[in-house]
Structures are given as structure tokens and as C-alpha cells.
Amino acid sequence: MMSRTLSRRRALQSGALVLGAWATKALGHAPKTEARLPQIGPAPGFTLIDQDGKQVSLKDRRGEVVAVTFIYASCVDTCPLLTSKLVAIQRKLEPSAAAKVFFTAITVDPERDTPEVLKRYAQAHSADAAHWAFLTGTSQQIDDVARRYGIYRKKQPNGDVDHTFLTSLIDRSGTLRVQYLGWRFDPNEFLDDLRSLLREPQSG
């Protein structure tokens, strides 16, 4: 399992490829005891369709801490592990905190992942529908949002989708603060980061 510093550093380096100088500055040489998470830059916006067929826009979640990850419903290995981990993390939040955190899972397989398919996936993982959105859109929309979040995706002849596992945390003001690479990150670290962002005042 990656250490706290290593997991975050690898994720920030990945983000630097897409988000440019912001991510490089955020990586820096900050001391481990620094209270505030780095600010990478404005989080890439998106407007997609959720598991209930409703439109969801990142800008509408201002005032909440938002976690953004990428999955696909027919995945049989890492995607369900990542989803289950995030669902478990959400359940560990205190009720007052959970009400201010919103989780989004964007499909990398929009051709197959209709709202109905994603709803079954959400139900299979017992995701709290009030604070979770499983999102789909056109292939062009997914390509765009994936690219801007630093996500590689490529569909294989057998239907599997190779893609980057990257989970981003966005603060209540819409700023991208930290990204977790892979799924073997420390859930306690993730919880600490959520709570840290909730304690910060909203700006902008």
C-alpha cells in the first residue's frame, strides 16, 4: 500500500500532465505537517446525466466537497473494488459531514452504461442515492471530461475498457485540491482530507 506522501505525490504528478503549472506548484516541497491541502487549480467542469436520467453539473455542487472518480459498470475487477471503497468511506463520515460531501463516478464506457445500467450498478453497491451520482453522456462528452481530468481510456475488442484510476477531491469553492492514483490508497487519509476540506471556509 502506498504511503500518504507517495500516493499523493504520484497523483499530483499525473495531474501536472493535464493541469500544467498549477499541479507542479501544488507538488512543491511542502512540509508533511502542512494543514491545508495544495490547490491544483479550478476543477474541470462537466454536465452529464445521472442514474436517474437527470442532468448533473459540477457547478451546481458548489458549497459541497466533491469526489470525482471514473469507472464502468461491466468491470469485474478494479472498478467494483474502488466503488465499494468509496461507499465505505462515505459511510464513515459523521452525518453532518456526509450531508456536505458528494461522490460522482463517471463512466468510461458510455456506449453501454446507460442511466438504467448505472442505476443497477449503484444499487448493487448500496450507494446512498442522495449523495452519489453515477454519470454518463455521449462518447464525445466523456472523452472531453476524461481528458481534462487526466484520464486515459481505451476500449478493447473484448469490451473491457483500459483506463486510469484517479479519484479527485474538489473543495467547496470548486478548486481541485488532491488526486488519488489507483485504488489502494489509505481510506483514513482520504477521510482526513475530506474532513480537512469541510473545515475550510468557502470562497469565491
Confidence (pLDDT) at 6: 39
Return the bridge partners of 176, or none.
Answer: 41, 170
DSSP assignments along 96-147, one per residue: HHHTTEEEEEEES-TTT--HHHHHHHHHHTT--TTSEEEEB--HHHHHHHHH
Q: What top-level class would CATH report for the domain 4-199?
A: alpha beta
C-beta separation of 105 from 132 below 8 A: yes
Please, what are the averages of pLDDT over each run of 10 residues along the chain (204 residues)?
38 42 30 68 98 97 97 96 97 94 98 98 96 97 96 93 96 97 95 96 76
Give the residue from 108, 87, 114 showing the smallest Cα distance to 164.
Answer: 108
> What CA–CA distance (Å, rounded) separates 198 from 11?
21
pLDDT of 204 = 62
pLDDT of the residue at 36: 85
Query: Which triple of cell numbers denotes residue 139?
Result: 462518447
Q: What is the pLDDT of residue 201?
A: 86
pLDDT at 14: 41
Sorted by where each begins, the domain ranges of the chain are 4-199
Q: What is the pLDDT of residue 101?
A: 98
